[in-house]
């Protein structure tokens, strides 16, 4: 390729990668649907992406956590280097970063209100360390006390709020504790109910709390004598998070309480005034996405920015911050931005830039006085990641279901690939109370790098698009309306000339794995192959087991049970259980004839391994084409590098064999040994890895 041609291709790629993420909708020859066709054509015209090693899609983030100090003078960050994680401080005035802690197991960090201490949260402990390196408190998390941090105490110079369980006879009660940076404990409240969240006034008194009350959540104000006054009684799927107690007696919150007629459908920024009147301070101007994140001024605790990330990512400034957030967005066009503000008009802000083509966020310091935007944390040792031209564009799409509901999702388009001739993969998210977002997705990018077009449906029942959208499922999670949304989305794309109808696959994890089994069982004319991670084979049985014996079985917050009942997924109801079972992949195993790969964890506490093994045995006895790969002590999702690589390799092998595409790079010695040891059932695609072939 000549220099001019290379330059033109590079400029075209830059324009496609940095253009604002469009929202393509189904149309009848004009309007938003033209965006879809134009984007497909632009991606096809780009140079094909270089094929990247599997391991490039396994790497965790080099910077797991980055936080600006309240005064805006320091950026604290956790840095991952191999198997070592360290804590660093970077002055925002341009000085050099210094290591504060050489080794830590923490994956989250939080600043104290005075900016002199950092609280580091790991899986088992919460630790305090001062900015001059002095060790502070350490508190163990979990255990019989079920201790967990709630938030940094906004009323104290350096303290955190924790919740813990205390035994009371044969029952249990719940305490809200304050622990300062030196380990001093103070009990702020003890309650018979699980407390989700609290708000404190400037004197450090609990003035509001949200708790679970047996069959519903409720928000209460707390009087000076400790008595409670209910101000909001919440229905299933209604949530509030307390952000701040303001000096005038009002509460700043985020959530979705109230009826749809009163803007209660979407999650938004709220203010409950002293007279308990609920006001919306900010919501998605497009009326299609829930609030994803809100940024507060560390001095006033008032909101300065709100981000929405269920369709096209957008961040908006609030009140006086509107012009500054708009200025940042203008400097980073088409990107998903988030801000952390320092306290005071001269304090710098921390800005993150994200995109589907950025595995690692990019970080900047913004000076609100002059609009200067300076890149930080871009050392090659930190920011190493696949180049953007090797990754795929993600386009927000929506289409009309056969019953008239607009269904939303994303389309991942590989550069340099003719989408009309490419294999099409439906990737289904877990949950189902979850949703795809517009950012980086390792599995989708891995598949796109192999030449597959990936469709991510946020089918009805997904979150992120308002409470009504979630409830639109009406509990039809078998071979019904929810699955039909996914199928109709695939058929819509095929009708748009996207994907080869003879090479369509379906993949997913957890609920996505369940949907994969449904697709192969009930839509074999559409889906030619499937890859299911940790799939429930009988959703009714699986939900019952999860609440009785799984990870949800020992939680004092039983709101999941009531949420499932509201979603018509209460498997303790005989009629619901019978309906889900009759439509389950297990009960219809005789219909499953397409090749299937199942991957599971032997110690999964979300989907019982015995359920997965029983389904695999049923298929094997019926001589159905399937492979089962089990990580012996694995949890719901693989964590360690070799099992994670095995997941991608097995997926790639299965799809390549049945849909075409590049032959997978051969597994190394460790991966080959892992496959030989852990393939419980091996289909013809994996015959060479059978431990003791007969």
Q: pLDDT tens-digit profile of 374-430?
A: 999 998 777 667 889 899 999 999 999 999 999 999 999 999 999 999 999 999 999
| Burial track 208-244 (b if 16+ CB lie within 10 A, e otherwise) | bbbbbeeeebbbbbbeeeeeeeeebebbbbbbbbbbb
Name the β-bridge partners of 478. none
For 207, residues 6+ apart whose C-beta sits below 8 A from its C-beta are 199, 200, 201, 221, 222, 245
Within its chain, how far is the Cα of 373 from the centroid? 28
Element (H, E) at 374: strand 372-376
3-state SS assignment for residue 380: helix
Beta pairing class for 504-509 and 529-533: parallel
Beta pairing class for 23-25 and 393-400: parallel
Q: What is the mean pLDDT of residues 60-66?
A: 90
Give the per-residue pLDDT at 691.
63
C-alpha 620/C-alpha 590 separation (Å) is: 11
Q: For the CA atoms of the chain, what is the radius of gyration?
A: 26
Instruction: List, for residues 620-665, the tens digit of each pLDDT value.
Output: 999 999 999 999 999 999 999 999 999 999 999 999 999 998 999 9
- DSSP code per residue over 268-315: EEEEE-TT--EEEEE--TTSS--EEEEEE-TTT--EEEEEE-SSS-EE
Kindly tell me if the per-residue pLDDT of 260 is higher than 90: no
Kindly tell me if the per-residue pLDDT of 14 is higher than 50: no
Place of tokens 């209910």: 230
Instruction: List, for residues 326-340, the tens digit of each pLDDT value.
Output: 999 999 999 999 999
3-state SS assignment for residue 341: strand
Give the per-residue pLDDT at 263.
62
Tokens representing 422 are 């490419």
Q: What is the mean pLDDT of residues 519-539?
A: 97
Q: What is the mean pLDDT of residues 524-539?
A: 97
Contact 424, 503 (CB under 8 A): yes
Q: What is the mean pLDDT of residues 609-619?
A: 97
Give the per-residue pLDDT at 170.
80
Give the per-residue pLDDT at 456.
98
Q: What is the mean pLDDT of residues 304-325?
A: 97
C-alpha 381/C-alpha 560 separation (Å) is: 42
According to the CATH classification, is domain 387-689 in 3.40.50.1820? yes
What's the residue count for the chain? 694
Instruction: List, for residues 345-377, the tens digit of each pLDDT value.
Output: 889 999 999 999 999 999 999 999 999 999 999
Give the per-residue pLDDT at 694.
47
C-alpha 397/C-alpha 493 separation (Å) is: 10
Q: What percent of the chain has pLDDT over 70?
A: 94
DSSP state at residue 1? -
Contact 515, 536 (CB under 8 A): no
Element (H, E) at 127: strand 125-130
Tokens representing 619 are 């298929």
Name the β-bridge partners of 530. 506, 596
C-alpha 246/C-alpha 227 separation (Å) is: 20
Question: Which is nearest to 360 in space by CA: 392, 384, 343?
Answer: 384
Give me the long-range contacts of 75-80 (CB less than 8 A, separation at least 24).
Answer: 75/350, 75/363, 75/365, 75/376, 75/377, 76/100, 76/109, 76/111, 76/118, 77/109, 77/377, 78/104, 78/106, 78/107, 78/109, 79/382
Name the β-bridge partners of 233. 218
Cis peptide before 432 (omega within 30 of 0): yes
Contact 597, 654 (CB under 8 A): yes
C-alpha 282/C-alpha 659 separation (Å) is: 46
Give the per-residue pLDDT at 562.
82
Average pLDDT taken over every residue of the chain: 91
Domain locations in the chain? 387-689
pLDDT band at 13 (very low <50, low <70, confident <90, very high): very low
Kindly tell me if the per-residue pLDDT of 291 is higher than 90: yes
Q: How many other CB atoms are there within 10 angstroms of residue 65's CB atom?
A: 18
Question: Which is nearest to 296 in space by CA: 377, 334, 241, 227?
Answer: 241
Place of tokens 């105490």: 153
From residue 335, alpha-carbon distances to 21, 314, 357 in Å are: 8, 8, 10
For 375, residues 6+ apart whose C-beta sits below 8 A from its C-beta are 362, 363, 364
C-alpha 535/C-alpha 606 separation (Å) is: 10
Q: What is the mean pLDDT of residues 15-26?
A: 49
Percent of the chain as helix, strand, coil, to the nearest 5: 25, 30, 45
Place of tokens 């690692």: 360
Element (H, E) at 68: strand 65-68
Instruction: List, for residues 476-522, the tens digit of each pLDDT value.
Output: 998 999 999 999 999 999 999 999 999 999 999 999 999 999 999 99
- The runs of H, that is alpha helices, within 379-502 are 380-383, 442-449, 467-471, 481-495
Kindly tell me if the per-residue pLDDT of 193 is higher than 60: yes
C-alpha 54/C-alpha 665 separation (Å) is: 8
C-alpha 324/C-alpha 317 separation (Å) is: 7
Place of tokens 């679970």: 212
* Torsion sign over Cα 105, 107, 110, 116: positive
* pTM, full prediction: 0.92
Among the residue ranges 2-11, 21-30, 141-150, the one predicted with the least confidence is: 2-11
C-alpha 13/C-alpha 20 separation (Å) is: 13
Within 13 A of 225's CA, how many CA atoms are on the CB side?
A: 2
Kindly tell me if the per-residue pLDDT of 3 is higher than 50: no
C-alpha 132/C-alpha 223 separation (Å) is: 40
C-alpha 426/C-alpha 444 separation (Å) is: 10
Phi, psi of 612 (to 5 degrees): -65, -45
Among the residue ranges 73-77, 245-249, 473-477, 583-587, the one predicted with the least confidence is: 473-477
C-alpha 259/C-alpha 467 separation (Å) is: 10
Contact 265, 279 (CB under 8 A): no
Q: What is the mean pLDDT of residues 184-189?
A: 97
Name the β-bridge partners of 244. 252
Measure CA of the first residue to CA of the last residue in the chain; give whole Å.
51
């Amino acid at each position: 390729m000549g220099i001019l041609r290379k330059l033109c291709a590079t400029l075209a790629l830059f324009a496609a990668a940095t253009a604002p993420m469009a929202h393509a909708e189904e149309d009848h020859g004009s309007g938003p649907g033209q965006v879809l066709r134009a984007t497909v054509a632009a991606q096809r015209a780009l140079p094909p992406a270089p094929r990247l090693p599997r391991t490039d899609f396994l790497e965790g983030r080099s910077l797991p956590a980055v936080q600006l100090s309240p005064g805006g003078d320091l950026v604290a960050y956790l840095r991952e280097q191999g198997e070592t994680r360290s804590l660093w401080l970077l002055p925002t005035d341009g000085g050099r970063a210094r290591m504060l802690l050489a080794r830590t197991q923490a994956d989250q960090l939080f600043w104290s209100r005075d900016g002199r201490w950092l609280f580091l949260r790991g899986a088992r402990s919460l630790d305090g360390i001062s900015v001059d390196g002095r060790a502070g408190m350490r508190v163990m998390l979990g255990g019989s006390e079920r201790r967990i941090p709630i938030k940094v105490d906004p009323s104290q110079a350096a303290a955190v709020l924790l919740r813990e369980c205390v035994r009371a006879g044969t029952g249990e009660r719940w305490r809200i504790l304050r622990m300062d940076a030196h380990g001093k404990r103070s009990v702020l409240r003890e309650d018979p109910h699980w407390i989700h969240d609290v708000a404190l006034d400037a004197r450090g008194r609990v003035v509001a709390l949200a708790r679970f009350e047996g069959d519903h959540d409720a928000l209460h104000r707390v009087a000076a004598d400790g008595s409670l006054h209910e101000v909001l009684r919440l229905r299933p799927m209604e949530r509030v998070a307390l952000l701040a107690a303001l000096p005038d007696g009002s509460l700043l919150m985020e959530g979705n309480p109230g009826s749809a007629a009163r803007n209660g459908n979407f999650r938004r920024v709220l203010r409950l005034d002293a007279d308990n009147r609920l006001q919306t301070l900010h919501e998605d101007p497009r009326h299609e996405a829930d609030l994803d994140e809100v940024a507060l001024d560390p001095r006033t605790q008032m909101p300065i920015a709100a981000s929405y990330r269920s369709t096209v990512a957008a961040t908006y400034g609030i009140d006086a911050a509107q012009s500054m957030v708009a200025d940042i967005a203008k400097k980073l066009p088409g990107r998903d931005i988030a801000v952390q503000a320092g306290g005071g008009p001269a304090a710098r802000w921390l800005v993150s830039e994200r995109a589907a083509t950025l595995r690692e966020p990019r970080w900047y310091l913004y000076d609100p006085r002059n609009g200067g935007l300076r890149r930080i944390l871009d050392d090659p040792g930190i920011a190493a990641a696949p180049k953007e031209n090797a990754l795929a564009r993600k386009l927000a799409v929506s289409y009309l279901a056969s019953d008239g509901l607009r269904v939303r999702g994303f389309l991942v388009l590989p550069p340099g690939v003719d989408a009309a001739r490419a294999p099409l993969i439906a990737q289904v998210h877990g949950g189902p109370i979850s949703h795809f977002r517009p950012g980086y997705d390792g599995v989708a990018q891995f598949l796109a790098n192999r030449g597959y077009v990936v469709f991510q449906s946020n089918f009805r029942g997904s979150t992120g698009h308002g409470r009504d959208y979630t409830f639109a499922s009406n509990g039809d999670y078998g071979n019904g309306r929810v699955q039909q949304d996914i199928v109709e989305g695939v058929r819509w794309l095929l009708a748009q000339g996207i994907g080869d109808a003879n090479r369509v696959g379906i993949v997913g994890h957890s609920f996505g794995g369940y949907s994969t089994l449904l697709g192969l069982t009930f839509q074999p004319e559409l889906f030619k192959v499937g890859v299911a991670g940790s799939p429930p084979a009988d959703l009714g049985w699986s939900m019952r087991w999860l609440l009785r014996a799984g990870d949800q079985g020992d939680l004092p917050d039983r709101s999941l049970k009531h949420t499932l009942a509201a979603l018509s997924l209460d498997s303790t109801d005989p009629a619901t259980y019978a309906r889900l079972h009759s439509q389950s992949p297990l009960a219809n195993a005789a219909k499953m004839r397409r090749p299937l790969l199942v991957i599971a964890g032997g110690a999964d506490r979300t989907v019982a391994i015995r359920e997965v093994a029983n389904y695999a045995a049923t298929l094997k006895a019926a001589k159905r084409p399937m492979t089962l790969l089990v990580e012996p002590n694995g949890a719901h999702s693989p964590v360690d590098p070799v099992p994670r690589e095995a997941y991608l390799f097995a997926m790639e092998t299965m799809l390549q064999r049945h849909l075409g595409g590049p032959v997978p790079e051969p597994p190394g010695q460790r991966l080959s040994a892992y496959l030989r040891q852990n393939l419980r059932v091996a289909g013809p695609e994996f015959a060479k890895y059978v431990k003791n072939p007969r």
